Structure 1
Amino acid sequence: MSPSGPSSFLLIESCLKCAHRDSGLFCHLPNSALHAMMSAREGRMYPKGALICQEGQPAKGVFVLCSGKALLSTTTPDGHTTVLREAEPGEIIGISAVLGGTPYKATAEVMEQCQLNFIEKQEFLKMLQENAVMGSRVVEQILHDSGHSCTELALVEISGTVREKLAQLLLRWAKHPMHVLKKKRNEIPFRVTANHGEIAHMTGATAEEVEEALKEFQKKKWLKIDGTTWSVLNQTAMEGISVEIGKSGHRV
C-alpha cells in the first residue's frame, strides 16, 4: 500500500523517454530494468511544501524523483533541524531505510512541485534481486547520499565565516550547471530554489547573514542572481575564500 497524500497523476509517462534517464544517478538503467520499474511504480505529483516522507515514519517504499526538487533534513538530538541536501531528478528517496528495514532516516519536503514514482518496499526489493544493474545503481545512490550528507553537515560544523561557507556551498551547486543558450565566458549558471532561511540551515548561519554575504558577492561581481537562476561569475575568487575553510578546521 502506498502512503497517503496526493492523488495519482503522471506527467512523465514513460521512463524510457524521460529527459533525466541518462543524467539521473539511479535512472540510467537498461530498458528491461526500466520496464520492471514502470510496472511497479505509482506516479504522484506533490505541490511545493508537501512532505514526501517524514523522519521516524515506517518505510513503506522508495520514491524515485522524476522532476522538481526536494529538501532532505534530519533532527539533531537537541531538537534542531539540520538540512542535509537537495534531492534532484533521477535520485531515490528513502532507499537506506527500505534496505535496512528501519524508519525513514530523514524528512523530505518539496521545494518545487515534484513528480515522483512510489515503489512499494517488497516490490523494490524484488526488483533488486532480479536485476544486477539496478543493484549497482542503488550502491552508487547510497554512496552519493552518504557523501553529500557528511559534506553538508561539515559546513554547519566548521569554524569558517558565513561568506567562506556560502562560497563553498555555491561552488558545489555550480558543479551541476544549467544549460543556458546565452551566457558569458566563464559564467556558470545553476538553479537554486532554496530560500535564505534554508541556505542558512545549510551553512550554520542566519538568514540575515546569508543575505548580507550574497549582496557582497553580487557587489563584487562574483555572483549573479536572477530569480532561481544563479551564476558564479568569478570562480577563482570564490575558490580563494572557500579554501580558507580547510585552514579553519574542516571536520568531516
Structure 2
Amino acid sequence: MRKTTPSQRVFPSADEDKSRAGHVASTPQALSPAFRLAFADPDFLGRDELRPVRLQLELLKPELAMGDLGITSTVVLFGGARVPRPGDAVPPKREWLKRFYQEAQDFARLVGGECVRRGGGELVVVTGGGPGVMEAGNRGAHEAGAPSMGFNIVLPHEQEPNHYVTPELSFNFHYFGIRKMHFLMRARAIAVFPGGYGTLDELFETLTLIQTQRMRPLPVLLFGSDFWDDIVNWQALVDAGTIAPEDLDLFHFVDTAEEGWAHVKSALGITE
C-alpha cells in the first residue's frame, strides 16, 4: 500500500488532530466524553456495537506491521505452553515432554537460518508468543539471528510474551479467530508439537481448512508420532467413515528437528 508523506497531505493527520484536541480550553463542554474524537475514545471503541470495528482493527494492525517490515511468508510452530525446558524440575511422568522443547528450538533454529539466508522476510518463525514450545520456537530463531513473531492473546494466565520474540513483531490479540487467521495467512509450513486443547484446536482447524480446500495444501508436521497416535485414533476416523483415507495424507509424522526440516525443504523445493 502506498504511503502518503506529510508533505503530500491535504487534510490534517489523525495524530495532528489528536494533538490539537488536547489543547482546547478545559470547559465542561470540552471535558465531556461526547467531545472526544471517536478514534481516540477508548470507552466508545469498547462498546459492544463496535465489535465489527475492533475485529477489523485486530486484523489490520499485524497485517500492516508485517507489510511494513517486508514479511511475506512464515513457518508456524504450534505447541503447549506447559512443555518444560530441559533444565526444569518436573514430576517424573512429565520428563519425556522436555525433549520437545529442544526439538522445537532446534527446528526453529534451522528455519531461522534459512530465513536469514533469504534476507529476513521469508519463512519467519511465528509462535503463540508464550512459554513452553512457543518460547522454544522464538528462542531457536533468535539463536539463528532471525526475526520471529509472537501472537499472544489475553488470557487469565500464560499471556505474557516470552523474551525471544522480536519486539516489533510481538502482537497481542483479543479475538481467537483473528489470531488463528493471522497464523495461517502467510504460512508455508506448520509444525505441531505436543500440547493441550489450544494446540488441538489449532491443528484441527488447519486440517479442516486444507481438507475443505479453503486453504492451499502445505506441509503439516506432527512432532512425536507416539504422542499423536495416543491422542488421536486416526484410523478409527477412517474406519467410521468420518474422514476419507486420503485425509491421513494431510499431515506427516516426524520425531526430530532434522527430520522435520528435511521434509519442509523437500516440500518447498529448498536447496542448500
TM-score of the pair, normalised by structure 1: 0.25
Structure of larger gyration radius: 2
Structure number with higher relative contact order (C-alpha < 8 Å, ≥ 6 residues apart): 1
TM-score of the pair, normalised by structure 2: 0.24
- Higher strand residue share: 1
- Higher helix residue share: 2
